[in-house]
Copies of this chain bind each other. A is one copy, B any other.
């Protein structure tokens, strides 16, 4: 089996940790591997049988490497991704820096694998909230054409990074001890609260996170006619985003049809027997690969509507796993010339 030279940029972040775990779990065919970072430079990291020192990014970091998995934020990605691609290393980037660029595909392998064909050295990994939503919606769109989506999210703190996981832990402890929470990562206390604020706000009153869901969904599903409105909310959960998704379709589709349609589809698990207390849950999705869909029911307020509850591990399928699946897709299509 052919093996590949791999770079991870941001190897010690929340997503970076998951990159390393999933690469080993899936026996990703690795020849040389290089970990790049900034604040963690010099740190020695165990990776399977190897011990790897985190290196700083230089102009030569990507020479001789086939694939780079980026999860270090948009700023550094904008600086180095083009250079990496120019040196022959295909970049799969987790930040929002490249997602809406016309010449850069935005890929969820189960949804739009064909878009990998037109990459120019950089492929964008979508926003976590978008990835888990488009997986089931793709099948409904194919079957019944989605006209409109109204989505409200219940997002985990791990999406912000390790410091946010610490903040939720520390604040929660403090409050249970009767103290006052100190606030560093989020603009307000996240423990025992719900923050309708993710990423910065734009002039139309929506947050960037909300507009990512609007714009990325259209690009991934390849259909600008789908109308989407989103409310993105952070809640005190460590891992897995939940989403309340309401859709209106062109063609009538019943909740029964949707359950059948999604049954056994790649990357999707239907969990839907609410009377037996079975529905997707954040704590159950944690550490799992699939997107969990349940509470599928006919929206009785319109003739052709469906409500559903979509849950997935935001760090796995929402980030690290999807990125690695894109790399696997490139390999399976023989698109890596080394």
Interface residues of A toward B: which range?
Answer: 35 or more
Residues of B within 8 A of A187 (CB): 277
A283 partner, pick from B152, B193, B229, B235, beta carbons under 8 A: B193
Copies in the complex: 2
Q: Is the interface of A mostly helix, strand, loop or mixed?
A: mixed
Residues of B within 8 A of A282 (CB): 192-194
Complex Cα–Cα for A192 and B214 (A): 27
Whether A307 contacts B229 by the Cβ 8 Å rule is yes
Q: Is A327 an interface residue (CB 8 A)?
A: no
Whether A194 contacts B154 by the Cβ 8 Å rule is yes
Complex Cα–Cα for A300 and B150 (A): 11
Interface positions, chain A 291-327, Cβ under 8 Å from B, are: 294-302, 305, 307, 309
Comparing A17-25, A109-117, A197-205, the segment that makes contact with chain B is: A197-205
29 residue pairs bridging A and B, Cβ less than 8 Å apart: A150-B150, A152-B152, A187-B277, A188-B277, A188-B283, A193-B237, A193-B282, A194-B237, A194-B281, A194-B282, A196-B242, A196-B244, A200-B275, A205-B255, A205-B296, A205-B297, A205-B298, A207-B274, A214-B300, A227-B301, A227-B302, A229-B301, A229-B307, A231-B244, A231-B246, A233-B242, A233-B244, A235-B237, A236-B236
Interface positions, chain A 151-183, Cβ under 8 Å from B, are: 152, 154, 169, 172-173, 176
Whether B238 contacts A150 by the Cβ 8 Å rule is no
List the B residue with the shortest CB-CB distance to A205. B297
Whether B300 contacts A229 by the Cβ 8 Å rule is yes
Q: A152-B244, A274-B201, A283-B189 are in contact. Are A229 and B196 (CB under 8 A)?
A: no
Q: Is A228 an interface residue (CB 8 A)?
A: yes
Residues of B within 8 A of A274 (CB): 197, 201, 205, 207
Residues of B within 8 A of A219 (CB): none
Q: Is A148 an interface residue (CB 8 A)?
A: yes
A307 partner, pick from B193, B231, B237, beta carbons under 8 A: B231
Known pairs A152-B152, A205-B296 / 7 extra A-B pairs, C-beta < 8 Å: A188-B277, A188-B281, A192-B238, A196-B295, A229-B300, A244-B244, A246-B246
* CB of A100, distance to nearest CB on chain B (Å): 16
List the B residue with the shortest CB-CB distance to A177. B173
Q: Is A206 an interface residue (CB 8 A)?
A: yes
Complex Cα–Cα for A33 and B296 (A): 48
Complex Cα–Cα for A314 and B99 (A): 40
Q: Is A279 an interface residue (CB 8 A)?
A: yes
Q: Is A251 an interface residue (CB 8 A)?
A: no
A299 partner, pick from B195, B229, B301, beta carbons under 8 A: B229
Complex Cα–Cα for A173 and B255 (A): 39
List the B residue with the shortest CB-CB distance to A239. B192
Whether A197 contacts B150 by the Cβ 8 Å rule is no
Complex Cα–Cα for A207 and B275 (A): 9
Complex Cα–Cα for A228 and B246 (A): 12
Residues of B within 8 A of A200 (CB): 275
Complex Cα–Cα for A72 and B189 (A): 33
Whether B277 contacts A197 by the Cβ 8 Å rule is yes
Whether B193 contacts A281 by the Cβ 8 Å rule is yes
Complex Cα–Cα for A169 and B309 (A): 26
Contact with B along A235-279 (1 / 0, CB 8 A): 111100010101000000001000000000000000000110101
